[in-house]
Amino acid sequence: MPLKTKPFDPAAYLRTDAARAAYMTEALETGDAAFIADAVGVLARARGMSKVAKEAGLSRESLYRALSPEGNPEFSTVLKVMAALHLKLKAAPGRNL
């Protein structure tokens, strides 16, 4: 009998502000722009895409488009989404990645 699996969705496990902040921190520390953009999308899904879009002042469709794998959101969009996620970007001294 074949093993049944289903896709893993990290959004299902990011239920608290602390978990979402830790996930975004880890994504930012990778320095990988594509992974960071994906993480923002995961966090938006975890919080509710419609709710995030409304709080960011964007349409739900434009938010999905911006955060899709083919999307390339403007930095201002990322900042609006981060604010809607109740997260803020921080800078800390560190070495180059």
What is the domain extent for residue 27? 11-84
Do the domain assignments include residue 3?
no
Give the number of domains in the chain: 1
Residue 33's pLDDT is: 86
Helix (H, G, I), strand (E, B) or coil at 62: helix
Residue 44's pLDDT is: 95
Angle, in degrees to the nearest 10, between helices 49-56 and 60-67: 100
Q: Looking at residues 27-39, what average pLDDT do you find?
A: 90
pLDDT in tens, 43-84: 999 999 999 999 999 999 999 999 888 888 889 999 999 999
The rounded mean pLDDT for the chain is 91
Do the domain assignments include residue 5?
no
Do the domain assignments include residue 59?
yes
Do the domain assignments include residue 97?
no
CA atoms of 47 and 16, how far apart (whole Å): 9
CA atoms of 6 and 58, how far apart (whole Å): 31
CA atoms of 10 and 66, how far apart (whole Å): 19
Query: To the nearest whole percent, how much of the chain has pLDDT over 70?
Result: 98
